[in-house]
Amino acid sequence: MKTREYGVDLLKSVSMFMVVILHILGTGGVLTAAEHGSAAYAAAWLLETACICAVNCFGLVSGYVLSKGRYKRSRLLSLWLRVVLESLVITALFAALLRGSLGPDAWLMAVTPVIHGVYWYFTAYFALFFFIPYINKLLTALTKRETAGLALSVVLVFVFLGNITGLDLYQLHGGYGFLWLLCLYTLGGCLRNMAPERKAGKFWYLAAYGLSVLLAWAGTLLFNTQALISYTSPFTLLSAVLLLLFFSRLALRAPSLQKCIAMLARTSFGVYIIHTHPLIWTHILTGRFVPFLKLPVPLAIAAILLTACGIYAVCTLGDWLSEKFFQLIRTDLLENAADSLGKRRKPQNTVRK
């Protein structure tokens, strides 16, 4: 009987919290406003380095979970409906607050997010979703040795070649797109199929993640380059793999804890959709957190973390309300209809006794 891995669910929530921190540091203006060489500068980049693997974690988790799961068309339909609803609600709120400032384009983008590339990750996932059943069949057919060869090929071709040459040889665009998400999904599925032995204690993976972060951070400060902490950097990918291995080994058995983790995992994607909406991005987040740099470094870090908690909590509530709205209007009937499309009917027995 298949058991749910609540540790992996928890990683989804932790990763989204890390994404919020990244946006506070980047879009919020902390990284660009911090004085080069100062303690605040070093601390901000340490946070950035520790959290930059979050998007890779999401891609790896998708492959880790869905490669062994049942492919359901309704999963994409449910995501699309949620994205459109939340985009429309946010657009309506801004239209009410900023009267006359929103044109027809804002409303059009809300109902056609993929066509306009409003959310790059959702756009990439939308494309990936159509290939998932075929990738899963490939992964299922491979032996463990072949699976290891596939994973090694992905890393060598798409990670090391690009980083060694310093060129975007395969148009990965820094990891912002479908091809890199495809690589992450494949690697996540390979990790699941290879099933590394659990002889090593899980906290060794966490310690190794910390070491990877420190090495990338030191290199970033020493050489004044962000190449070591891009999405396609070996350090960033390694950090994400180590976190997945750590969280997949967590035993979380308390029913109340499992229920909370499951809810947070379900709403984690909504946190991304809500707080990165173009209007919130422009009018609320951009340059908003530069004043944190006036605080002592420990207080500045605390302010960033508490702000991330607040954003995460508000967005989680918003996505939870969306979930309840869809339950109220019974979108599950539409999702069930989508899942039933293309299913073969069992042949009827026409032989009479």
Domain count, the chain: 1
Check: pTM over 0.85? Answer yes or no. yes
Confirm whether 347 is domain-assigned: no
242 within 8 A of 205, measured Cβ to Cβ = yes
Confirm whether 266 is domain-assigned: yes
Whole-number Å distance between alpha carbons of 69 and 61: 12
Confirm whether 353 is domain-assigned: no
Confirm whether 352 is domain-assigned: no
Q: How confident is the model at residue 196 (pLDDT cuts 50, 70, 90)?
A: low
Per-residue pLDDT tens digits for 302-353: 999 999 999 999 999 999 999 999 999 988 888 888 878 756 555 554 444 3
Task: Note down the domain range covering 267.
Answer: 6-340
Per-residue pLDDT tens digits for 148-170: 999 999 999 999 998 888 888 89
Confirm whether 23 is domain-assigned: yes
Per-residue pLDDT tens digits for 38-73: 999 999 999 999 999 999 999 999 999 999 878 888
Per-residue pLDDT tens digits for 15-35: 999 999 999 999 999 999 999
Q: How confident is the model at residue 202 (pLDDT cuts 50, 70, 90)?
A: confident
Whole-number Å distance between alpha carbons of 130 and 77: 12
Confirm whether 163 is domain-assigned: yes
Q: What is the DSSP string of 150-199?
A: HHHHHHIIIIIHHHHHTS-TT--GGG-SHHHHHHHHHHHHHHHHH---S-
Mean per-residue pLDDT of the chain: 91
Per-residue pLDDT tens digits for 255-303: 999 999 999 999 999 999 999 999 999 999 999 999 999 999 999 999 9
Q: How confident is the model at residue 200 (pLDDT cuts 50, 70, 90)?
A: low
130 within 8 A of 180, measured Cβ to Cβ = no
Confirm whether 350 is domain-assigned: no
Per-residue pLDDT tens digits for 231-262: 999 999 999 999 999 999 998 889 999 999 99
Confirm whether 302 is domain-assigned: yes
